């Protein structure tokens, strides 16, 4: 069976040294040759919320959903996962 979950800490993609996490969505998107993400990274969402910038947060969330779907489709096309 194909994996239902891809753990990015156990993939060919490298995390930022010392981050303690697997690869970011930005890293995976770049490695798969998908369109680059253009909104601020998730690490900036708290500051955006504090600044009241809900429109940018909404755009970030929508972009992440689209990018996650694109990654899933690409991984399925490569035979890594079954959808």
Give the pTM. 0.78
Residue pair 13/28 in contact by the 8 Å Cβ criterion? yes
Q: pLDDT truncated to tens, each residue of the chain (83 aa)?
A: 555 666 666 665 555 665 556 678 888 898 889 999 999 999 899 999 999 999 999 999 999 999 999 999 998 898 888 88
Report the candidate in 40, 36, 37 with the shortest Cα–Cα distance to residue 55: 40
């Amino acid at each position: 069976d194909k994996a239902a979950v891809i753990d990015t800490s156990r993939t060919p993609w490298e995390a930022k040294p010392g981050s303690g996490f697997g690869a970011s969505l930005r890293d995976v998107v770049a490695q798969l040759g998908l369109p680059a993400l253009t909104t601020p990274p998730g690490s900036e969402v708290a500051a955006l919320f504090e600044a009241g910038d809900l429109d940018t947060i909404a755009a970030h969330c929508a972009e992440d959903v689209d990018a996650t779907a694109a990654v899933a489709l690409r991984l399925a096309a490569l035979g890594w996962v079954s959808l």
